[in-house]
């Protein structure tokens, strides 16, 4: 296993973690999914999105409630 010494001057005394690029990319993808999910949930809370429906009748009832008066 290769050993690498990074001077504290570069890391400013902080700990440094080294992971394979593939693992890093997987982590970034999961973070992006989490952000997208949070955004979608916020839109649902604000009433911007409605759905999923079990039937067409359920969808129509929801649309009638959401229609501006």
| Residues in contact with 61: Cβ distance below 8 Å, sequence separation at least 6, in sequence order | none
| Residue carrying the six token digits 């690498």 | 4
Given a contact cutoff of 8 angstroms between Cβ atoms, the answer to whether 40 and 32 are in contact is no
Per-residue pLDDT band for 22 (boundaries 50, 70, 90) equals: very high
pLDDT, average across residues 60-64: 79
User: 40-56 burial by CB neighbour count: b if 16+ within 10 A, else e?
Assistant: eeeeeeeeeeeeeeeee
How much is the mean pLDDT over the chain? 82
Q: Is the pLDDT of residue 69 over 60?
A: no
pLDDT digit string, tens, across residues 34-47: 888 888 888 878 87
Given a contact cutoff of 8 angstroms between Cβ atoms, the answer to whether 62 and 50 are in contact is yes
Q: Give the start-to-end residue ranges of the domains of the chain.
A: 19-66
Per-residue pLDDT band for 1 (boundaries 50, 70, 90) equals: low
């Amino acid at each position: 296993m290769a050993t690498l010494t990074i001077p504290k001057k570069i890391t400013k005394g902080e700990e440094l973690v080294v992971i394979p690029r593939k693992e890093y990319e997987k982590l970034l993808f999961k973070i992006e999914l989490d952000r997208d999910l949070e955004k979608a949930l916020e839109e649902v809370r604000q009433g911007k999105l409605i759905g999923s429906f079990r039937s067409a009748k359920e969808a129509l009832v929801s649309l009638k409630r959401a229609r501006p008066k």
